[in-house]
Each structure stands twice: as C-alpha cells, then as structure tokens.
Amino acid sequence: MDRPETIEETAELVTAAGGTGIAVQVDHLVPDQVRDLVARIDAEQGRLDVLVNDIWGGDPLTTWDKPVWEQPLDPGFRTLRLAVDTHIITSHFALPLLIRNPGGLVVEMGDGTKAYNDENYRLSVFYDLAKVSVNRLAFSQAHELKPHGCTAVALTPGWIRSEAMLEHFGVTEENWRDGAATDPNFLISETPAFVGRAVAALAADDDKGRWSGQSVDAGTLSKVYGFTDLDGSQPEGFRYITEVVDAGKPADVTGYR
C-alpha cells in the first residue's frame, strides 16, 4: 500500500488501549512465515481465541469501471491472491490452534455484506470476486468449525475513515466532517475503532455461535450489542448506502448514526 504507518505504531495503539501489542512482520502469501507465526503464538500464549483475517492491500491494484477484457490480468490475479489466498493460508495454520478450546472466533473482514454484494456489482470483476469470496470463506469455515464449538463470521465496516481515506479527502480525524464539502455522504463514515469494537463484542458474546456463517456489518452489530464509535454515535453505513446513496436520495445521515 506504500503507506507511512507502521505495524509498530499499530502495536503501540493496542498497548495504549489496554492490551499488549506485538508487531510481527509476516508475508501471509508465504506459508512458512505464517506457520512460524502461529508456532510463536502457541509457544508464547499456548492458545488462540480470536483470528481476524483482515489481510488486503489490493486497492492500488484495482482498475475500476472497466470490463474484464480491459482489465490487466497480473494485478487482477494478485488482488485475488491478497484477498483469498492470504486468508486461507492463515486459517490453514492458525485454526488447529484455535480449535483446541471451544468458543474460538474467526472473523473474515471484507467490504460489503453478503446481501449487499449479491445485489451490487463492485465496479471491477476482480474486486467483486475478492469481496464475495471473503464472505463465502466465513460460511465455509463456520461449517468446519462447528464440531469444535467455534464460530466464523464475515464482518464489514461501513464507510471506514482510514488514514488513506482521510488523506483522500484532505482532512484529519479532528476535522473529518469538512470532507462533506467534497461528498456530503462522507458524514456517514466511521473510524476503524468502530469495526474493532464489533469484533470485541462478538468475541465477548457467549452466544456468538448464533452469528456463525453469517455476514454482518458493524452498524447492525452496534444496535445488538450497544457499542458506539469514538464520538458516541452508531453509524449504520450499509443501511445508509442502500437506502440513501444507491437509491439516489439527497445526502442526509439523519436517523443513520
């Protein structure tokens, strides 16, 4: 992605939030590196309770609004490898550790719920396949994990206000609402913490198995579990996109956050 942020900074954020952040550089397309990572987790922790498959990096590879015959093949196939192969490789090595104890959770992080992606073309055949596949991975793994008392869920944020998105709109987290001057729908956006809180809520739920195999979004889960974004709101990004943006209605987040 060629971003200036580092995994060390991310680990520091985890520690500042009350956990213990440990940064480990791993190429998840290299099976031996993933195997060694899981072996280290086993040696140091002795267990794995939550696996979040959120490996991506395909944005700069994507060619938008071009039919498949005008798509460059090498970047397209690498997009699929980043979205699908990385997740399968990671699960292959990590799930034997996770299933040692009932109650484990796998979160397949994507872009768009199954319902949304089934109804909408995602502006590139490769991106479309990547995002549909992530939802299906959760469905498949749910069946494989069920005999072990573990759960797999596909989870999507809404319009996530990542560092790259803030940069794109020329704003910071402090003045992010100014991005509405470029696109008024930006007011439905959410911080990365919102979907993180969704993962935490799922992990803490003793009845998380009710979600197994399903595709859900952070906004919907916020209504179920009661968590909020950092500003105290509960943005329902995909409901807004469906009911307002895709419906061609004027931008208005009233009742959606």
Is position 171 within any domain? Answer: no
Is position 197 within any domain? Answer: no
Render each residue's pLDDT in the chain as its tens digit; 257 residues: 889 999 999 999 999 999 999 999 999 999 999 999 999 999 999 999 999 999 999 989 999 999 999 999 999 999 999 999 999 999 999 999 999 999 999 999 999 999 999 888 999 999 999 999 999 999 999 999 999 999 999 999 999 999 999 999 999 999 999 999 999 999 999 999 999 999 999 999 999 999 999 999 999 999 999 999 999 999 999 999 999 999 999 999 999 99
Q: What pLDDT is recorded for position 2?
A: 84
Q: What pLDDT is recorded for position 97?
A: 98
Tally the domains of the chain: 1
Is position 152 within any domain? Answer: yes
pTM summary value: 0.94
Alpha-carbon distance of 104 to 174, in angstroms, equals: 36
Exposed, middle or buried: residue 222 (CB in 10 Å: 0-12, 13-18, 19+)? buried
Q: Find the domain containing 111 and state its range.
A: 7-156
**Pairing mode, strands 215-217 and 151-156:** parallel
Is position 174 within any domain? Answer: no
Exposed, middle or buried: residue 160 (CB in 10 Å: 0-12, 13-18, 19+)? middle
- pLDDT tens sequence across 217-230: 999 999 999 999 99
Is position 162 within any domain? Answer: no
CATH number where 12 lies: 3.40.50.720
Tokens for 255?
């009742």
Q: What pLDDT is recorded for position 180?
A: 96
Burial string for 41-68 (b: 16+ CB within 10 Å, else e) reads beeeeeebeebbbbbbebeebbbeeeee
Is position 25 within any domain? Answer: yes
Is position 98 within any domain? Answer: yes
Is position 47 within any domain? Answer: yes
Q: What pLDDT is recorded for position 182?
A: 96
